[in-house]
Structure 1
Amino acid sequence: MFAAAIFDMDGLLIDSERPIMAAWIEAARTLDIELSHTQYLQVVGLAMVESEVILGALLGGPDAYRHARDHVRRRLQLERADGTPLFPIKPGAAEFLAALRQRGTRCAVASSSTRGQIEACLGSLGVLDHFEAFAGGDEVVRAKPDPALYLLAASRLNVDPAQCIAFEDSENGAKAALAAGMRVVIVPDLKHPPVALVERAFHVLGSLHDATPHLPGWFPGELARP
């Protein structure tokens, strides 16, 4: 039995990776460059600094990267104009979070997105109140796969990392949680984890729908939080 659940956000709780990838591919075309899905997948799960280096090389240098980045920001901003959430919630996420809350399981978010982005995204989807603590990429010096984000989230819950299950979609995120001493449940999004990482995972699931049946064995039932 474990004391807390700690979640990544992008690609795990919210379906953000696909629209962001589509925006980058569109931006590359404005530079007369065909950026393939396979090429873009190199940056999934990486810190912003690392992504900038790789995308800059693929797009033709720093100036081209900045042009494409600005296009992506404008494109994603336009998709918010009708008042709908920028990124939809992933299948099974809302139900799983509600089930955890019903059991009284303590939950946190450990995401490379900024603290403000975390609160805005999850607030727009109506699931922010399921979490007691947050750790954002702007609050640590080193990004995933460094364990800093997961250690910060556990400390804010005042829970031993060894008593936490981390839910992740990316390779670097899973490595970060493992390095923090947590068990890791991988729910792949755009990229399937390598075999060596699968072998170290607690479970690999198709979606968060598949996590709900495991709750009685993972987390003790307590009085539900209001």
Structure 2
Amino acid sequence: MTDQPPVLFDMDGVIVDSETYWHAFEEETLFPETLAGDHPDLDEVTGMNYREIYDYLETNYEPTITKTEFIELYNETATKIYGEQVALMDGFDALTDTLRDRGAKLAIVSSAPKSWIETTVDRFSLGPFDLVLSAEDIDAPGKPEPHIYEHAASEIDADPADCIVVEDSENGVTSASRAGAYVVGYRTGPNAETDLSLADVVVNGPEELRAELLD
């Protein structure tokens, strides 16, 4: 067993390929049907908690529905995405098994509601994790603010600076970087053009991620 630092994984786009489905929903249904005028770039909202997405849109764009209606649309879509559509990222089970064997503490730290995370964990029989933390579990702003990663590190008795965070979104990378963690930007198809420049290192796909975390 080696002295392996804690590894904190975002869920969407890191553990499962859900960003593919969320992006399609937002571009093809959500934004056209709920916003008047301009639509945001996907990277503006990817990685944020959906309740805070509405607040962001209300400040910067022109929503045509209420926050309650907006949340209902997300929840209805999430049931299908996590319950039926998503697939586990290649090699994730093997990677976490190896990290556990090396004595690493592992966590899921996500903007998604706890119920969405639990659906994913149950469906793919993931775990055990030392912590599963949703943005809705903390009384503070979510990503891109640093609070969720600061809170996660505290929950596993670690300093954020001693943790490795794997994130695929600009908001997530910003959050982890502001918390002082070592940030691995995880690039796959859906985020090929996403600005991950605040990450300490950017890897392309599961093989590079495995090499980075285990080396």
Which category describes the TM-score, using the shorter chain as reference length? 0.7 to 0.9
Q: Structure 1 residues 216, 76: closer, same or farther in 2, change over 3 A? A: closer
Aligned length: 210
Give 1:62 shift: 3.0
Partner Cα separation in structure 2 for residue 114 and residue 73 of structure 1: 9
Matches for 1:31-110 after TM superposition, within 5 Å: 31=33, 39-53=41-55, 61-63=63-65, 70-71=72-73, 73-78=75-80, 85-110=84-109
Q: Are 1:13 and 2:15 an aligned pair?
A: yes
Counterpart of 1:221 in structure 2 is none
Counterpart of 1:133 in structure 2 is 131
- Contact 2:161 2:182 (8 Å CA) reproduced: yes
Q: Structure 1 residues 90, 137: closer, same or farther in 2, change over 3 A? A: same
SS state at 1:178 partner: helix
Give 1:107 shift: 0.7
Give 1:54 shift: 5.7
Matches for 1:112-151 after TM superposition, within 5 Å: 112-129=111-128, 131-140=129-138, 141-151=140-150
Q: Are 1:171 and 2:199 an aligned pair?
A: no
Give 1:204 shift: 0.6
Give 1:97 shift: 1.3
Q: Structure 1 residues 26, 69: closer, same or farther in 2, change over 3 A? A: farther
Give 1:112 shift: 0.9
- Contact 1:6 1:108 (8 Å CA) reproduced: yes
Counterpart residue identity of residue 176, structure 1: S
Deviation track 1:177-205 (CA, whole Å, cap 9, x = no partner) reads: 111111000002433343xx52x433211
TM-score (normalised: structure 1):
0.75
TM-score (normalised: structure 2):
0.78
Gaps of 5+ in 1: 218-226
- Contact 1:185 1:204 (8 Å CA) reproduced: yes
Matches for 1:183-198 after TM superposition, within 5 Å: 183-189=182-188, 190-191=190-191, 192-194=193-195, 197-198=196-197
Give 1:164 shift: 0.8
Partner Cα separation in structure 2 for residue 183 and residue 106 of structure 1: 15
Counterpart residue identity of residue 15, structure 2: L
* RMSD (Å), alpha carbons: 3.3
Partner Cα separation in structure 1 for residue 20 and residue 51 of structure 2: 20
Give 1:213 shift: 2.5
Q: Structure 1 residues 25, 4: closer, same or farther in 2, change over 3 A? A: same
Partner Cα separation in structure 1 for residue 99 and residue 72 of structure 2: 39
Which moves more between the two structures, 13-22 or 50-59? 50-59
Which moves more between the two structures, 62-71 or 181-190? 62-71
Q: Structure 1 residues 56, 146: closer, same or farther in 2, change over 3 A? A: closer
SS state at 1:90 partner: coil
Q: Structure 1 residues 47, 209: closer, same or farther in 2, change over 3 A? A: same
Q: Are 1:209 and 2:211 an aligned pair?
A: no
Q: Which has the larger radius of gyration?
A: 1
